[in-house]
Structure formats: C-alpha cells, structure tokens
C-alpha cells in the first residue's frame, strides 16, 4: 500500500465507513420515490381485486307531500275558479333498501386486470431494487473518488516537502558558490507549482465530497472516510458474469414483469367482446306506518355488449401495440446488459493492469529521484535533472493512486452490471 493511501488511515474526526455510507443512502429521496411507486402499484392491485367481490349499497328516504285539487278549464266551458282550501296532506312515507350485486363471470375482464396489476406491482418492486443498485453504485464510486482525491492531496504535500528541502539545498550551495542562482530560482518555481497542485487537489476533495453527500442523501462532508478492505483480486469471466447478470439483474426482471402485465391487460381487453354474468339481491322496507312492510328480490342478469362503434377493437389493438413495445424494450435491455458486463470486465482488467504498472513505475521513479538527489548533492547533476526526477516521482505516485481507486470503482461498476 502506498504512503499517500496509508496517510488516509490516520485522518482525525468522526469516521464514515463504506458500509455506513450505504446504510445512510437507504434514506435517499430517490429510493423514497421508488417505494412510493410500489405503494401506488399495490393500490391498483386492490382496485383490480375489488372486481371479484360483491358491491353493496343502502338507501333510505323519508317524504311528505300534499295533494290539493287544481281545476282546469274544459273545451267550450269556462273553468270554475279555484277556491281556497285547506292542504290535503298525505301521511309521511318511508323507504329503506339494501342492494347487493355479485359478479359471477365476465370471461376474463376482472381476472386479466387483476393479474396485470399484480405483475405491475412486482415490476415496481424489482425497479425499486434496481434503483437501490444505482444509488449504491453512486455511493461506492463517489466514496472511492473522495479517497483518491485525499490521497492526491497527500501526494501534493509530500511533493511540497521535498521541493522545500531541495530549495534549501540549492540556496546553501549557491551561498557557498558551488551552484548558480538559476538553481535557486528553478527550485522556487518547482515549489510554487507544487503549491498550486495542492490547491487543485484540495478543490478536488471538496468537489468529490459534495458528490458523495449527494449520493448518500445527506451532508457527510466532515466525516473521515475509511479505506475499505479488498477481498482478493480474481480475474473476471465475462461469459459466466453475463449469464449471472441475465438471471439476477432486477431491471431485467422488472422488464419481464412489464411484458407479462401488458399481455394480461391484452387478454382483459379482448374479453370485452364477451358477456357479463352477475347476480343481485335487494331487501327493502316501505310504508307510512311502523312496522314497515318488507320485501326481497334476488335474480341473475346476463349483459352482452354487441356493438361499441369499434371502441373495443381499438382498445385491443392499442394494447397489442403496448405488448410489442414491452417485448422490444426487454430485448433491448438484454443487449444492454451484455454490453454492460463486457464493458465492466474490460474496465476491471484495464484498471488492474494500470495499477500493476503504476507500482513498478513508482519504484523506478523513486530510485531515479534518489540517484538524481545524490548526483546533485555531489555536484555531478544539474537542478534540471533533479526537477525532472521529482516531477516524475510525483506523477508516478498520482498514477498509482488513480489506478488503485479506479480499480475499486471498476469492481463496483462490475457488481452493478451483474446485478449484485
């Protein structure tokens, strides 16, 4: 492990592990949206299920009325003027009734609607899992980005410390007359460049922490991150991982369920051409005096829509198009999953190769810097040689940092592509 990475483990303040960051991300608003979609879909299942159950209603009325006579004129005879009379008041009349209707069979209308709603609910649940995988990937990649940015800050600090020592050496040798003024100015230029690199590295940390806070869903800008442990470094098998992804990816499961939901909705739309059989019952009480007279009625009805102006046919055709669209979307997603896995595997292999090469590069650059420092101190080397060696060592360290954390991010991307 490189010194810049080891320095991260010594950071002070409250710590935030990767697992803790993932736990905090469970409250991310994006997940709340996905869960709300599941709740909405569950409500639609309840609505569709109600078509199997009886419906009941109750009514009651209490009326009073008058029946006064109003004479009307007849043809050829003048009407008799009406005279004032007392109101003729009928007794109060009460009506109370309870009605129940039970669907018996509608040739698949209700069943198809219920099955479609149930499949849509399961698809929403699978989409919620896929949303969590997306959120977890962003948390992991931004977490590693913060660690990488902080390691680059440590590289910049080490470079500044080395440049400061080189500046003191150049000044000392200039003062005794063994080196020209150019060596001092060159060391000063290198030091200022290193300080600018430190400013940029610190800004990179700030930006990375903002992105991490956004991914987590709350402010974690002050927490000290902990370098996660890495379990082995196996070579990924693209073929086996692709097969695993086709079995495990929740977005593909959601797409399959959406296809099923559209197919079931198509069956429900086609059933509109068939009759509806239902049973009904009524129990009522009527009268002006208590106890009221009660009556009951039971029966069955068969309703068959014969003509609808082509509306039922149009709805079926529209739903058939929705089925074809869902199937095409599923097939496109299968192609995308294969591409995701292959690209993620290539990313892991490339990052791992860069990491291994960077390890060798750091060792070689360190040796080159040691040689340049020795030659300069003995008067055999120039300040340019030493400056180039120092720059090469700093760049090699930065390459190692980026490659190490790029590999961690690539593994996280591969896990997401596989559906883990």
Over the stretch 115-148, which tens digit does the pLDDT of each residue have? 999 999 999 999 999 999 999 999 999 999 999 9
pLDDT for residue 290: 78
Amino acid 68: pLDDT: 67
Q: What is the mean predicted confidence (pLDDT) over 249-276?
A: 90
Long-range contacts of 365-369 (CB under 8 A, 24+ apart): 365/389, 365/392, 365/393, 365/395, 365/396, 365/397, 366/393, 366/396, 368/392, 368/393, 369/393
State how far the alpha carbon of 225 is from the alpha carbons of 28, 141, 146, 199, 404, in Å: 19, 13, 8, 20, 16
pLDDT tier, 77 (very low <50, low <70, confident <90, very high otherwise): low
Give the per-residue pLDDT at 9. 42
pLDDT computed for residue 7 by the predictor: 45
Instruction: Please indicate, yes or no, whether the overall pTM of this predicted structure exceeds 0.85.
Output: no
pLDDT for 8:
45
Cα 19-21-23 angle, rounded to 5 deg: 70
Question: Would you state the pLDDT for residue 91?
Answer: 66
Is the pLDDT confidence value at 260 over 90? yes
Mean of the per-residue pLDDT values of the chain: 85
Write down the pLDDT at residue 146. 93
269 falls in which pLDDT band (50, 70, 90)? confident
Region 316-328 average pLDDT: 91
Count other C-beta atoms under 10 Å from residue 86's C-beta.
7
For residue 73, is pLDDT > 70? no
Residue 298, pLDDT > 80, answer yes
Q: Which range (104-113, 325-334, 351-360) has the least confidence?
A: 104-113
3-state helix, strand, coil in the chain (%, to 5): 65, 15, 20
Residue 254's pLDDT is 93
Predicted confidence at residue 287, as pLDDT, reads: 79
208 in Cβ contact with 140 (< 8 Å): no
Instruction: Tell me the two tokens of residue 59.
Output: 């009514």
Mean pLDDT, rounded, for 327-331: 94
Average pLDDT over residues 221-237: 81
pLDDT more than 70, % of the chain = 90
Provide the pLDDT for residue 80.
Answer: 52
| pLDDT at residue 218 tops 90 | no
Of 267, 316, 323, 317, the residue nearest 113 (C-alpha)? 267
Specify the pLDDT at position 176.
82
Give the residue-averaged pLDDT of 380-399: 86
107 pLDDT higher than 60: yes
* Token code pair at residue 353: 């190769």
Of 296, 260, 226, nearest to 126 (Cα)? Answer: 260
Specify the pLDDT at position 12: 43
395: exposed, middle or buried (Cβ count in 10 Å: 0-12, 13-18, 19+): middle
- 190-210: average pLDDT: 92
Distance of alpha carbon 140 from alpha carbon 13, whole angstroms: 21
Task: Give the separation between CA 321 and CA 313, rounded to whole angstroms.
Answer: 13
Mean pLDDT of 233-237: 80
pLDDT of residue 275: 87
User: Is cis: bond before 383, omega within 30 of 0?
Assistant: no
Mean pLDDT of the 378-403 span: 86
């Amino acid at each position: 492990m490189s010194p810049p990475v080891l320095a991260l483990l010594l950071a002070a303040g409250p710590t935030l592990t990767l697992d803790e960051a993932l736990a905090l991300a469970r409250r991310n608003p994006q997940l709340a949206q996905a869960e709300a979609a599941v709740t909405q879909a569950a409500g639609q299942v309840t609505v569709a299920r109600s078509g199997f159950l009886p419906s009941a209603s109750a009514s009651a009325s209490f009326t009073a009325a008058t029946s006064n006579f109003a004479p009307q004129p007849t043809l050829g005879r003048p009407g008799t003027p009406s005279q004032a009379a007392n109101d003729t008041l009928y007794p109060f009349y009460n009506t109370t009734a309870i009605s129940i209707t039970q669907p018996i069979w509608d040739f698949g209308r209700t069943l198809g609607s219920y099955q479609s709603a149930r499949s849509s609910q399961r698809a929403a649940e699978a989409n919620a899992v896929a949303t969590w995988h997306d959120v977890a990937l962003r948390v992991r990649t931004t977490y590693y980005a913060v660690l990488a940015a902080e390691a680059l800050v440590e590289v910049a600090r080490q470079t500044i410390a080395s440049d400061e020592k080189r500046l003191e050496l150049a000044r000392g040798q200039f003062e005794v007359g063994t080196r020209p003024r150019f060596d001092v100015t060159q060391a000063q230029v290198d030091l200022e460049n290193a300080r600018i690199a430190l400013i940029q590295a610190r800004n990179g940390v700030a930006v990375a922490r903002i992105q991490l806070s956004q991914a987590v869903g709350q402010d974690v800008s002050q927490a000290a991150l902990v370098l996660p442990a890495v379990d082995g470094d196996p070579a990924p098998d693209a073929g086996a991982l692709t097969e695993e992804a086709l079995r495990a990816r929740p977005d593909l499961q959601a797409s399959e369920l959406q296809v099923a939901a559209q197919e079931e909705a198509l069956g429900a739309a086609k059933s509109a051409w068939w009759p509806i059989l239902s049973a009904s019952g009524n129990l009522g009480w009527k009268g002006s005096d208590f106890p009221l007279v009660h009556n009951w009625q039971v029966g069955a009805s068969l309703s068959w829509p014969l003509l609808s102006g082509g509306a039922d046919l149009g709805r079926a055709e529209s739903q058939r198009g929705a089925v074809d669209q869902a199937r095409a979307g599923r097939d496109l997603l299968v192609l995308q999953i294969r591409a995701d896995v292959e690209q993620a595997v290539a990313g892991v292999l490339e990052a791992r190769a860069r990491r291994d090469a960077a390890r060798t590069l750091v060792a070689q650059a360190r040796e080159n810097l040691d040689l340049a420092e020795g030659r300069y101190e003995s008067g055999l080397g120039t300040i340019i040689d030493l400056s180039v060696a120092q720059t090469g060592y700093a760049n090699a360290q930065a390459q190692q940092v980026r490659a190490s954390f790029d590999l961690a991010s690539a593994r996280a991307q591969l896990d997401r592509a596989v559906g883990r």
